[in-house]
Structure 1
Amino acid sequence: MALQEYAGSIVMEVDGKEVEVIDLSDTVRTGRKLVKTMNRTGRAKGFAKGIAEYELSVTVAIPLSGDMDWLAIEGAKITIYPNSPGGQRESYLDCFTTEAGNKYSVDNEARRDLKMQALRKVTE
Protein backbone atom coordinates (compact mmCIF):
# COMPACT_ATOMS: atom_id res chain seq x y z
CA MET A 1 0.00 0.00 0.00
CA ALA A 2 1.55 3.30 -1.10
CA LEU A 3 1.47 6.41 1.02
CA GLN A 4 -0.97 9.11 -0.01
CA GLU A 5 -0.17 12.80 -0.09
CA TYR A 6 -2.87 15.34 0.71
CA ALA A 7 -3.49 19.07 0.26
CA GLY A 8 -1.61 21.38 2.57
CA SER A 9 -2.04 24.86 3.93
CA ILE A 10 -4.92 27.28 3.45
CA VAL A 11 -4.36 31.00 2.96
CA MET A 12 -7.00 33.71 2.89
CA GLU A 13 -6.02 36.98 1.27
CA VAL A 14 -8.01 40.14 1.95
CA ASP A 15 -6.85 43.35 0.25
CA GLY A 16 -3.36 41.88 -0.19
CA LYS A 17 -3.09 40.89 3.49
CA GLU A 18 -2.77 37.22 4.47
CA VAL A 19 -5.10 35.93 7.18
CA GLU A 20 -4.31 32.77 9.17
CA VAL A 21 -7.03 30.17 8.57
CA ILE A 22 -7.50 27.47 11.21
CA ASP A 23 -10.37 25.59 9.63
CA LEU A 24 -12.21 25.67 6.30
CA SER A 25 -15.20 23.71 5.07
CA ASP A 26 -16.95 24.26 1.79
CA THR A 27 -20.35 23.33 0.44
CA VAL A 28 -21.16 23.47 -3.26
CA ARG A 29 -24.77 23.57 -4.36
CA THR A 30 -25.15 22.67 -8.02
CA GLY A 31 -28.38 24.60 -8.49
CA ARG A 32 -30.04 21.64 -10.19
CA LYS A 33 -33.76 21.28 -9.54
CA LEU A 34 -36.06 18.33 -9.92
CA VAL A 35 -38.66 18.79 -12.66
CA LYS A 36 -41.98 17.21 -11.82
CA THR A 37 -44.30 16.45 -14.70
CA MET A 38 -47.75 14.95 -14.96
CA ASN A 39 -47.29 11.48 -16.39
CA ARG A 40 -48.61 7.95 -15.97
CA THR A 41 -45.62 6.69 -14.02
CA GLY A 42 -46.18 9.19 -11.21
CA ARG A 43 -42.51 10.08 -10.93
CA ALA A 44 -40.22 12.90 -11.96
CA LYS A 45 -38.64 12.65 -15.39
CA GLY A 46 -35.54 14.84 -15.05
CA PHE A 47 -33.91 17.98 -13.78
CA ALA A 48 -33.18 21.55 -14.82
CA LYS A 49 -29.72 23.08 -14.60
CA GLY A 50 -29.18 26.02 -12.29
CA ILE A 51 -26.51 28.34 -10.95
CA ALA A 52 -23.84 26.85 -8.67
CA GLU A 53 -23.36 28.37 -5.20
CA TYR A 54 -20.20 28.12 -3.07
CA GLU A 55 -20.70 28.45 0.70
CA LEU A 56 -17.65 28.52 2.98
CA SER A 57 -17.28 28.16 6.74
CA VAL A 58 -13.96 29.69 7.76
CA THR A 59 -12.38 29.79 11.23
CA VAL A 60 -9.58 32.29 11.80
CA ALA A 61 -7.44 33.21 14.81
CA ILE A 62 -8.21 36.58 16.42
CA PRO A 63 -5.05 38.73 16.39
CA LEU A 64 -4.20 40.87 19.43
CA SER A 65 -3.61 43.90 17.26
CA GLY A 66 -4.64 44.86 13.76
CA ASP A 67 -7.97 43.05 13.84
CA MET A 68 -10.03 43.66 10.70
CA ASP A 69 -13.67 44.42 10.06
CA TRP A 70 -14.72 40.85 9.26
CA LEU A 71 -18.26 41.76 8.20
CA ALA A 72 -16.92 44.19 5.59
CA ILE A 73 -14.90 41.58 3.66
CA GLU A 74 -15.66 41.69 -0.06
CA GLY A 75 -13.60 40.35 -2.93
CA ALA A 76 -11.38 38.06 -0.80
CA LYS A 77 -9.46 35.12 -2.24
CA ILE A 78 -9.08 31.81 -0.37
CA THR A 79 -6.46 29.42 -1.73
CA ILE A 80 -5.74 25.82 -0.72
CA TYR A 81 -2.07 25.09 -1.42
CA PRO A 82 -0.71 21.58 -2.00
CA ASN A 83 2.35 20.55 0.00
CA SER A 84 3.99 18.85 -2.96
CA PRO A 85 5.61 20.65 -5.88
CA GLY A 86 3.57 20.32 -9.04
CA GLY A 87 0.27 19.96 -7.20
CA GLN A 88 -2.66 22.13 -8.21
CA ARG A 89 -4.03 24.92 -6.04
CA GLU A 90 -7.75 25.43 -5.56
CA SER A 91 -8.98 28.99 -5.10
CA TYR A 92 -12.30 30.52 -4.16
CA LEU A 93 -12.55 33.96 -5.74
CA ASP A 94 -14.60 37.05 -4.93
CA CYS A 95 -15.51 35.84 -1.43
CA PHE A 96 -17.69 37.96 0.82
CA THR A 97 -18.81 37.58 4.44
CA THR A 98 -22.44 36.88 5.30
CA GLU A 99 -22.05 36.09 9.04
CA ALA A 100 -19.37 36.45 11.71
CA GLY A 101 -19.17 35.14 15.27
CA ASN A 102 -16.63 34.52 18.03
CA LYS A 103 -15.65 31.28 19.73
CA TYR A 104 -13.75 30.99 23.02
CA SER A 105 -12.65 27.78 24.75
CA VAL A 106 -10.37 26.72 27.58
CA ASP A 107 -7.91 24.74 25.46
CA ASN A 108 -7.58 26.90 22.34
CA GLU A 109 -6.97 30.46 21.30
CA ALA A 110 -9.89 32.79 20.64
CA ARG A 111 -11.34 32.20 17.20
CA ARG A 112 -13.65 33.90 14.80
CA ASP A 113 -16.11 31.87 12.73
CA LEU A 114 -17.07 33.34 9.37
CA LYS A 115 -19.74 32.26 6.93
CA MET A 116 -18.79 33.33 3.44
CA GLN A 117 -19.99 32.95 -0.13
CA ALA A 118 -17.73 32.72 -3.16
CA LEU A 119 -18.65 33.59 -6.72
CA ARG A 120 -16.17 31.21 -8.36
CA LYS A 121 -13.95 28.21 -7.69
CA VAL A 122 -10.90 27.66 -9.91
CA THR A 123 -8.12 25.09 -10.08
CA GLU A 124 -4.79 26.79 -10.78
Structure 2
Amino acid sequence: MADKYVGQIVLEINGAEYEVTSVEPTLKTGRKVVKTMNRTGRATGTVGGIEEHELKISVPIPKSGEPEWRALVDAKLTIYPQEGGGKRETWTGCSLIDVGSKYQVEGESTRDLNIVALNYYTE
Protein backbone atom coordinates (compact mmCIF):
# COMPACT_ATOMS: atom_id res chain seq x y z
CA MET A 1 0.00 0.00 0.00
CA ALA A 2 1.57 3.26 -1.13
CA ASP A 3 1.11 6.46 0.87
CA LYS A 4 0.13 9.59 -1.05
CA TYR A 5 1.73 12.87 -0.13
CA VAL A 6 1.02 16.46 -1.07
CA GLY A 7 2.94 17.51 -4.20
CA GLN A 8 4.01 20.94 -5.32
CA ILE A 9 2.47 24.03 -3.79
CA VAL A 10 1.16 27.05 -5.67
CA LEU A 11 1.18 30.41 -3.89
CA GLU A 12 -1.49 32.93 -4.84
CA ILE A 13 -1.49 36.52 -3.62
CA ASN A 14 -4.47 38.64 -4.66
CA GLY A 15 -5.14 36.55 -7.76
CA ALA A 16 -1.54 36.46 -9.05
CA GLU A 17 0.43 33.20 -8.77
CA TYR A 18 4.07 33.11 -7.69
CA GLU A 19 6.69 30.37 -7.58
CA VAL A 20 7.74 29.48 -4.05
CA THR A 21 10.76 27.57 -2.79
CA SER A 22 9.56 27.34 0.83
CA VAL A 23 6.73 28.37 3.16
CA GLU A 24 6.98 28.21 6.94
CA PRO A 25 3.70 29.15 8.66
CA THR A 26 3.80 29.77 12.42
CA LEU A 27 0.89 30.15 14.85
CA LYS A 28 1.45 31.99 18.12
CA THR A 29 -1.43 31.37 20.53
CA GLY A 30 -0.72 34.40 22.72
CA ARG A 31 -1.22 32.40 25.91
CA LYS A 32 0.74 33.49 28.95
CA VAL A 33 1.59 31.88 32.27
CA VAL A 34 -0.23 33.27 35.33
CA LYS A 35 2.28 33.73 38.13
CA THR A 36 0.84 34.12 41.61
CA MET A 37 2.22 34.07 45.10
CA ASN A 38 1.27 30.67 46.55
CA ARG A 39 2.72 27.96 48.77
CA THR A 40 3.77 25.67 45.93
CA GLY A 41 6.01 28.26 44.31
CA ARG A 42 4.68 27.35 40.87
CA ALA A 43 2.46 29.04 38.32
CA THR A 44 -1.24 28.25 38.73
CA GLY A 45 -2.33 28.26 35.11
CA THR A 46 -2.46 30.15 31.84
CA VAL A 47 -4.54 32.95 30.40
CA GLY A 48 -5.79 33.15 26.82
CA GLY A 49 -4.32 35.60 24.36
CA ILE A 50 -4.57 36.89 20.83
CA GLU A 51 -3.52 34.53 18.03
CA GLU A 52 -0.86 35.68 15.60
CA HIS A 53 -0.14 34.06 12.23
CA GLU A 54 3.33 34.57 10.78
CA LEU A 55 4.56 33.25 7.43
CA LYS A 56 8.16 33.00 6.27
CA ILE A 57 8.18 32.67 2.49
CA SER A 58 11.08 32.29 0.05
CA VAL A 59 10.45 33.19 -3.59
CA PRO A 60 12.94 33.09 -6.49
CA ILE A 61 14.00 36.49 -7.83
CA PRO A 62 12.81 36.84 -11.46
CA LYS A 63 14.95 38.53 -14.11
CA SER A 64 12.12 41.01 -14.73
CA GLY A 65 8.64 41.71 -13.44
CA GLU A 66 9.27 41.28 -9.72
CA PRO A 67 6.28 42.41 -7.64
CA GLU A 68 6.57 45.45 -5.39
CA TRP A 69 6.73 43.53 -2.10
CA ARG A 70 6.54 46.74 -0.03
CA ALA A 71 2.97 47.23 -1.29
CA LEU A 72 1.82 43.90 0.21
CA VAL A 73 -0.87 45.14 2.61
CA ASP A 74 -4.22 43.47 3.42
CA ALA A 75 -3.57 40.69 0.89
CA LYS A 76 -5.04 37.21 0.64
CA LEU A 77 -2.58 34.34 0.47
CA THR A 78 -3.72 30.85 -0.59
CA ILE A 79 -1.75 27.62 -0.89
CA TYR A 80 -3.25 25.01 -3.23
CA PRO A 81 -1.92 21.45 -2.93
CA GLN A 82 -1.78 19.93 -6.39
CA GLU A 83 -2.99 16.50 -7.52
CA GLY A 84 -5.95 16.52 -5.13
CA GLY A 85 -3.93 15.88 -1.97
CA GLY A 86 -4.47 17.80 1.25
CA LYS A 87 -6.57 20.87 1.97
CA ARG A 88 -6.37 24.40 0.66
CA GLU A 89 -4.96 26.82 3.23
CA THR A 90 -5.85 30.53 3.18
CA TRP A 91 -4.56 33.48 5.18
CA THR A 92 -6.34 36.85 4.93
CA GLY A 93 -5.33 40.33 6.05
CA CYS A 94 -1.71 39.62 5.09
CA SER A 95 0.85 42.41 5.43
CA LEU A 96 4.58 42.43 4.82
CA ILE A 97 6.76 42.90 7.91
CA ASP A 98 10.21 42.63 6.32
CA VAL A 99 11.91 41.43 3.17
CA GLY A 100 15.45 40.15 2.70
CA SER A 101 17.51 38.60 -0.07
CA LYS A 102 19.68 35.50 -0.31
CA TYR A 103 22.30 35.10 -3.04
CA GLN A 104 24.03 31.73 -3.45
CA VAL A 105 26.76 30.27 -5.65
CA GLU A 106 24.67 27.25 -6.53
CA GLY A 107 20.90 27.41 -6.83
CA GLU A 108 18.71 30.41 -7.29
CA SER A 109 18.70 33.79 -5.59
CA THR A 110 15.64 34.29 -3.40
CA ARG A 111 13.65 36.95 -1.59
CA ASP A 112 12.76 36.01 1.98
CA LEU A 113 9.44 37.55 3.07
CA ASN A 114 8.08 37.73 6.62
CA ILE A 115 4.32 38.24 6.51
CA VAL A 116 1.72 38.49 9.28
CA ALA A 117 -1.91 37.47 8.71
CA LEU A 118 -5.06 38.29 10.64
CA ASN A 119 -7.08 35.14 9.80
CA TYR A 120 -6.42 31.51 8.80
CA TYR A 121 -8.81 29.06 7.08
CA THR A 122 -8.61 25.51 5.72
CA GLU A 123 -11.00 24.13 3.14
TM-score by length of 1: 0.87
Partner of 2:90: 91
RMSD: 1.7
Task: State how 1:73-92 maps to structure 2 within 5 Å.
Answer: 73-85=72-84, 87-92=86-91
Unaligned runs of 5+ in 1: none
Structural mapping, 1:31-110, within 5 Å? 31-85=30-84, 87-110=86-109
Measured in 1, the distance between the counterparts of 2:119 and 2:93 equals 7
- Aligned residue-pair number: 123
Equivalent residue, structure 2, for 1:23: 22
In terms of fraction of residues, the more strand-rich structure is 1
More divergent stretch after superposition (81-90 vs 13-22): 81-90
User: Contact 2:99 / 2:111 at 8 angstroms: preserved in 1?
Assistant: yes
Provide the rounded CA distance (Å) in 2 between the counterparts of 1:110 and 1:90.
Answer: 26
| Corresponding letter in the other structure for 1:16 | G
**Hey, what's the Cα distance between the residues in 2 that align with 1:70 and 1:42?**
49
SS of match in other structure, 2:108: coil
TM-score scaled by length of structure 2: 0.88
Runs of 4+ in 1 over 4 A off after TM superposition: none
